[in-house]
Homo-oligomer: A and B are copies of this chain.
């Protein structure tokens, strides 16, 4: 099966960290991104609400005749994947399985840390996936509800973010983890801060894990073109464009974008 057009959604701007990684690794793909900014954040909402929003997002992206869907939101991946797979007949990649596989590949002592939104942690999605592959691995998790708003506000490398992150990570540090799954697509921009707190721990991001998964499971070939030679298109939609989405999106992607509005 030839994959040329890929739909990607997240609750907001965070999924663009996945877009960036996928676009740089597979520069010939045409990407269609939807940020559901009118209803973000998903991370503190209930299962039914998250599934309902994910369904609507997928419906919209299907109108672009996509060959594959990436659910670039760990919260949505944790709850809505089985539902979406039942409802829609196209390959769907979530964040959980690729992240779990990459963490297991990289850990040496099998003590895996996980941070995410309250909903992602509550779901137990990563834990189940990791234990399915390797029952000896231990997972230590912490929900970090304030990290998303801190990233949305641009507090990337900031005293406040560091104090908050230190509190969230305290329990994990004591367990002696050697990898940490950044179980939310907002978190990769916080790597420098997280590295200050856990300098010897390897950070696993959803973007890297997704690119690896696309190669291994879907046989997508990397293009030899350097990132500056990106040929594929990128259209970006948001359900609420009246915010500072464009500004943060351009900062995350490192390129200028044209933001399109859609009501769902």
- Residue ranges of A at the interface with B (Cβ–Cβ < 8 Å): 37-39, 44-49, 118, 145-146, 149-150, 152-153, 155, 159-160, 163-164, 239-244
Report the bound CA distance from A243 to B122 in whole Å.
Answer: 11
Q: List 12 A-B contacts (CB under 8 A).
A: A38-B45, A44-B152, A45-B242, A45-B243, A46-B241, A118-B243, A145-B152, A146-B149, A146-B150, A146-B153, A146-B155, A160-B163
Q: Do B240 and A46 touch (CB < 8 A)?
A: yes
- Beyond A38-B49, A46-B242, 20 additional contacts (C-beta under 8 Å) are A44-B152, A44-B243, A44-B244, A45-B240, A45-B242, A45-B243, A46-B240, A46-B241, A46-B243, A47-B242, A49-B239, A49-B242, A118-B244, A145-B152, A146-B149, A146-B150, A146-B153, A160-B163, A160-B164, A163-B163
Report the bound CA distance from A219 to B51 in whole Å.
Answer: 46
**4 A-B pairs closest in CB distance:** A46-B242, A149-B149, A49-B240, A38-B49
User: With a CB–CB cut-off of 8 A, which chain B residues contact A164?
Assistant: 160
Given contacts A45-B242, A47-B242, A242-B49, contact A153 B160 (CB under 8 A): no
Report the bound CA distance from A149 to B160 in whole Å.
Answer: 14
A37, A38, A241, A244, most chain B CB atoms within 10 A: A38
A37, A163, A243, most chain B CB atoms within 10 A: A243
Report the bound CA distance from A150 to B163 in whole Å.
Answer: 13
Q: How far is the CB of A37 from chain B (nearest CB, A)?
A: 8
Whose C-beta in chain B lies nearest to the C-beta of A148? B149
Report the bound CA distance from A37 to B43 in whole Å.
Answer: 12
User: With a CB–CB cut-off of 8 A, which chain B residues contact A153?
Assistant: 145-146
Report the bound CA distance from A155 to B146 in whole Å.
Answer: 10
Report the bound CA distance from A155 to B163 in whole Å.
Answer: 13
Question: Of B37, B44, B242, which is within 8 A of A48 by CB?
Answer: B242
User: With a CB–CB cut-off of 8 A, which chain B residues contact A155?
Assistant: 146
User: With a CB–CB cut-off of 8 A, which chain B residues contact A239?
Assistant: 49
User: With a CB–CB cut-off of 8 A, which chain B residues contact A49?
Assistant: 38, 239-240, 242
User: With a CB–CB cut-off of 8 A, which chain B residues contact A45?
Assistant: 37-38, 240, 242-243
Report the bound CA distance from A48 to B238 in whole Å.
Answer: 14
Q: How far is the CB of A258 from chain B (nearest CB, A)?
A: 17
Q: How far is the CB of A157 from chain B (nearest CB, A)?
A: 15
Whose C-beta in chain B lies nearest to the C-beta of A243? B44
